[in-house]
Chains A and B, each alone.
Chain A
């Protein structure tokens, strides 16, 4: 937890330890009520971080989230995620955040189809949005670009310093935030985008599976298909592939109903197969591209599954940007794509920190 130390500017609110433990236990209890017993959890009651990196649990929650109708307002898992995030237990909030890729990933295409109720997903997304709104006090995030003819922290300029009013190029990276109580359809992209901004802030703490999931959903958003244009479908395993398994395991006890439910599931599955591509305005694309940049060029770039997923997501977003003839998106996705391919093609750089005459058999003082 080196990240959430006291110097972090926007730590999740903290309360005292015993309180947190209680919250944690309560939330695990309610979760087991919803999902049934989870074997790995009973042994490790104390640490909330194991919750974040517990593959078994992640798997179970993911498959439940991917069920049709999972985003409905009366869905218990959605309610659990919402309550857990509102519990303001910092580690539990991270657990909720780690499922944002699936929630947002499913929410946007389903919102286009407008087939099912999505109030459950919307509640979670709005909670994330509200959290980000309060943590930055609704203020916009701006970036100013220096003029190199004036000296800066890292360089000195010989040119005489002109008057003090140095012209800076300032742009707004993320506009100011106003509170939203409901998801209005024209604000949908913005709300999801802000939730993604929050995800990006904590991305260094997110488990690998969550990031991979995000990359796969980016591809769905861009193309409306699961495997892009069939180019090189990396995530061959279907996004909803493990559903049947999950349903049979979670409903294992019901025996007789199992087969009927499976049939229903299949029908609903085939409906979900018809994904729709999602409108990708800049307010949504920008945070998505930052996350993809992290996946492609960040500290996990040695993880092939992640970089492959990120690369094909970038490819599909670039194709989409070309289709939309959107200059800014073409620039951003294009550069990321070239960087990604450069990184996968170039052989490892020579180690500049190795001593010079490493191989010299004559060692001299």
Chain B
């Protein structure tokens, strides 16, 4: 009955308005005049006469007219005349009749008529809602809007039938569904907002993809950012085996993931903000690997490939999969892509700096980053230099010659010093500079760095305390180192005391107080076992770390007992250690040392050799074998020397190796070389830390 009109001057407000129905049409100027006088009754009756309408139809038209004219107060008054509840009572049976009549295949016009009447009625109420909303009466608007949805649920008890619903009715319902939560949100009623959103998404409203997507996005944003903890969805809405979120962030992430899926399936237009919200949500809850797989699913061509590679690289590196991240960065930093992208360069350099075999590549990235940190990005020059120093330091570890190594080390030092000029109190640079100084045996400079580090971090990071204690121990100031360690223990909660206690035990050993050391180790073991009990979920990352820690403690104890020649105790400790790592070069080496200590040299041999087979780079085993070979006599001296040279290549500051090499030279009759080696050993002995400096980082 409603004819489609071609309207030319849509935007032109001066156009004469017309109303049409039942094939009739009339201009509204007369009606409008009556409305302006505030005479709704008369306006209504003239419409009813002019277009032969019933009461509700006339009211609906009048209200619509007022709404469009912007007379919202008047529109609300007009709509107030319609009694929704009565109308619904009337409509309900006609629909149920419709259902039964459909089965008997009676004429379809009945359905259309009643649906049309429903549509008209609901649109009228909806316009009332919009009028109230625009008038700022949000709470009333929300109540009315809710009544629309209640009405729809009463009328269509088993959901809105897909095919037969008239367009206009469906449109009104969709809009009301979308508007309701927004109204509650504006009112500030959070419980109602959440339940309106859930009602919109969980009931069958026949929404199209776009409006459903908009509601899902709006709800996800509400959950993520409103700061209101919504109660988790009720048990009633749970279907067996399906995933039900149990807090805000889970629900938000689920909705965003579903939205993303809809984009992939082409059901919705790509919306870049959805991806950003998802990145935010995932990274806030530490779900970097899940984020990576979401980004992997984005179809090609949606985002620029370099952006995608970089975001992926960030996610993988946050998830601890640095190798994958580096591969992606290599692509995005390729000379045909974005070779000067600072973020990519810095991240690549950082990843490379963690592996001495990649350090050379990292140096290149870091240099490019430093060169590109200009203009607005100048604040990143410092970090570029820091990464450069880091990579150079790492590269020095695998340098093939002494000259190269010392060259790289001094380059590294230079970079760190340049970096510190940019960021005077950046603790990251301070600690790396400190370690670098310490490794080059410049312990005074290292001490300054360590103190400064503790200052700028307010003592909040353990590694500062540890570096300070290590440098002091290298200066043989053991009691001061112990004071520092005790101070650090005071600032540390129970569960994080492990590394400090281990240091303390080693300090006791260095001070020749083995019994105190054993006592400290015992305390440490008790701590580790208590920790295991309180966080013990097997297989988790934490448990692995604890296993490693406990293994090391038992090993240290075994070494200590074997130095005290308490072989029984040493064996027990070694067995305990073996339970954690059955195939360990360190255990086999210690076994060898014990055999040797008991004078069973022949049994020590296989132990050392096995240790080397497990780990060809195990320097202590190399040294022990060298030493045994030296004792065998002059024939095996060249072989012994080569073992020791290998050991020194791996650990240039190992004083035992230097001493042993000196002995070999001495046996060989080369006194000058021997004295050089002894001198090196003696110097190192005076500056040997109780643990390696780089263990701090």
Contact = CB atoms under 8 A, between A and B. Distances in A.
Interface of A: 2-3, 5, 7-9, 111-114, 141, 143-148, 150-155, 161, 164, 166, 168-169, 171-173, 176, 178, 180, 184-189, 200-201, 203-204, 224, 229, 276-277, 279, 282, 286, 289-290, 293-294, 296-299, 319, 322-325, 327-328, 330-332, 334-336, 338-339, 342, 352-356, 358-365
A330 B243 contact: no
B57 interface: yes
Contacts of A229: 379
A323 to B, nearest CB: 5
Contacts of A186: 459-462, 491-493, 496
Given A151-B242, A328-B318, A361-B17, A336 B227 contact: no
A154 B254 contact: yes
A199 B660 CA distance: 62
Nearest to A145: B290
B284 A290 contact: yes
A343 B57 CA distance: 42
Contacts of A352: 175, 178, 211, 214
A364 B185 CA distance: 33
Interface string B331-344: 00000000000110
Interface in B1-25: 1-3, 5, 7, 9-12, 15-22, 25
B221 A363 contact: no
Interface stretch (B425-433, B560-568, B649-657, B689-697): B425-433
B242 A169 contact: no
B375 to A, nearest CB: 12
Contacts of A189: 460
Contact of A153 (B53, B233, B253, B285): B233
B343 A330 contact: yes
B524 interface: no
Contacts of A342: 272-273, 276
B237 interface: yes
Interface in B248-307: 249-251, 253-255, 257-258, 261, 272-273, 276-277, 279-280, 282-291
Please classify the interface of chain B as helix (H, G, I), strand (E, B), loop, or mixed, using the class held by over half of its residues.
Answer: helix
B413 to A, nearest CB: 20
A365 B254 contact: no
A164 B242 CA distance: 10
B65 interface: yes
Contacts of B425: 224, 276-277
B225 A293 contact: yes
Nearest to A206: B227
Interface in B523-577: 535
Contacts of B317: 327
A141 B239 CA distance: 25
Nearest to A332: B283
Given A171-B286, A186-B492, A154 B273 contact: no
A362 B7 contact: yes
Nearest to A205: B227
Q: Which of A141, A148, A224, A324 has the most CB of B within 10 A?
A: A148
A2 B250 CA distance: 23
Given A112-B458, A186-B462, A365 B57 contact: yes
Nearest to A153: B244
A293 B493 contact: no
Contact of B492 (A184, A277, A327, A355): A184
A331 B291 contact: yes
B387 interface: yes
A168 B286 CA distance: 14
Nearest to A163: B241
A323 B243 contact: no
A363 B286 contact: no
A290 B249 CA distance: 11
Q: Which of A294, A330, A356 has the most CB of B within 10 A?
A: A330
B460 A299 contact: no
23 contacts: A143-B247, A145-B282, A146-B250, A150-B241, A150-B242, A154-B202, A186-B491, A276-B456, A279-B457, A297-B221, A322-B342, A322-B380, A323-B383, A328-B318, A331-B282, A353-B175, A353-B182, A359-B11, A360-B10, A361-B9, A362-B7, A362-B20, A365-B120
A28 B57 CA distance: 60
A114 B276 contact: no
B140 interface: no
A335 B120 contact: no
Contacts of B227: 200-201, 203-204, 294, 298
B458 A364 contact: no
B228 A3 contact: yes
B667 interface: no
A322 B377 CA distance: 10
Given A185-B458, A363-B18, A173 B65 contact: no
Contacts of B283: 328, 331-332, 335
B231 A161 contact: no
B445 interface: no
Contact of B288 (A154, A201, A327, A339): A327
B276 A339 contact: yes
Interface stretch (B187-195, B590-598, B602-610, B679-687): B187-195
A139 B152 CA distance: 44
Contacts of B247: 141, 143
A144 B284 contact: no
Contacts of A359: 10-11, 68
B428 A324 contact: yes
Contacts of B225: 293-294, 296-299
Contacts of A111: 458, 460
